[in-house]
Amino acid sequence: MSEHRSNGAVPDHEHADEYFHKNPTPKSLSKHQALTREFIQYHLENSPNRRIVLVTSGGTTVPLENQTVRFIDNFSAGTRGATSAEYFLQEGYAVIFLHRQYSLLPYSRHYSHSTNCFLDFMEESDTNDGRVVVRKEYQDKMRRVLQQYQFAKQNRLLLLLPFTTVTDYLFQLRSLAVLMQPLGSRALFYLAAAVSDFFIPRERMEEHKIQSRDDKGGSQGSGASRQLVINLDPVPKFLSTLVHSWASKESMIVSFKLETDPNLLVSKAEQALKRYRHDLVIGNLLTTRKWEVVFVTRDGAERWLRVPKARRSKSLSGVEELVGKAERKHDREPVDLEGGTVTEGMEIESLIIPELALIHTDMIEHGK
């Protein structure tokens, strides 16, 4: 097997080994391993044809102190991951949902966080019996969400595993990939988490809260505010190690590429695919990610999936004028399907997941 190098010097897997050697194993790891082992075993025994997808979701933190008060974070709320997980379940997959703690979760996402506060969906019953009920206009949607959630729970189709820091995430990714090996081609990796590219190595991390003033103690201390200068190291390129050592060779691996510059998106997605040699990169722009994505495949194809204009949900951070601006080639007509399940606008994931499931089927039936 050829070696994968990030800079022409040290192979990626050596950087990865060093990372795991130097950073502490998360406390939750052994518990999560046991839950995953049980989950996979259950499906191998009870439904041997079941496909299992690992969906990663949300952003990782980069702690600045060991006893962490401050950390660096990113924008990701976990919408892509949580929404995708629901559509994977609809396609018959069992889902391991590796998510940032307190980010959006499948099903409960419809009623959580400030934009969808659950209290707004409820009222006191008008029969004066003291009960609290779901408001009439939300009954149908909530019933469907509840039924789907209960189906997933009763059939043990959804395993929720939280992470917080980039190190938690990477330890878990490695361990999950190894545990998923017995699934062979029925394993799918859907890497939608926004993982930090930089971190502070353990040996350089402050133990205690970084002080904002230069207090030397006693009356001699200047007490002046000081600048905080942080030196971050690059996080090793784990996708390479995932593809070439942790995951089964037969599994399907899909990564996401996020950019803000429309001129860069497709070429960066192509570079990632060339470098890591996995199966598919899904490219998205920060400002249009809820309405369009591009599938970049090894055969050089650039395939856009778009929510039709009339069915786009409103988004405060989105910039609709940028839809279509990152498109470079016009190999095929953009897909313009109907879709969406339980929300008002069409969700782009209702296009992404059925498309991916088809590609996965093809890989299972014909090999990679």
CB of 174 to ligand PAZ, least distance (A): 17
Question: Which residues would be at the binding site for ligand PAZ (CB under 6 A)?
Answer: 76-80, 192, 194-195, 256-258, 284, 289
Beta carbon nearer to ligand PAZ, 134 or 264? 264
Q: Compute, in degrees rounded to 10, the torsion defined by CA atoms 16, 20, 22, 25.
A: 160
Beta carbon nearer to ligand PAZ, 187 or 195? 195
Beta carbon nearer to ligand PAZ, 79 or 251? 79
CB of 262 to ligand PAZ, least distance (A): 15
CA distance 157 to 52: 9
CB of 169 to ligand PAZ, least distance (A): 12
* Cα first-last separation, the chain: 17
Largest Cα–Cα distance of the chain, in whole Å? 76
Beta carbon nearer to ligand PAZ, 86 or 183? 86
CB pairs under 8 A, 24+ apart, for 353-361? 353/84, 353/87, 353/88, 353/90, 353/91, 354/87, 354/91, 355/295, 355/305, 356/188, 356/190, 356/254, 356/280, 357/88, 357/91, 357/93, 359/252, 359/279, 359/280, 360/51, 360/188, 360/252
> How many degrees, rounded to 5, is the angle at CA 351 between CA 282 and CA 103?
70
CB of 284 to ligand PAZ, least distance (A): 5
Q: Compute, in degrees rounded to 10, the torsion defined by CA atoms 361, 363, 366, 368.
A: 180
Beta carbon nearer to ligand PAZ, 179 or 194? 194
CB of 272 to ligand PAZ, least distance (A): 9
Beta carbon nearer to ligand PAZ, 100 or 244? 100
CB of 232 to ligand PAZ, least distance (A): 16
Residue 364 CA from chain centroid, whole number:
23
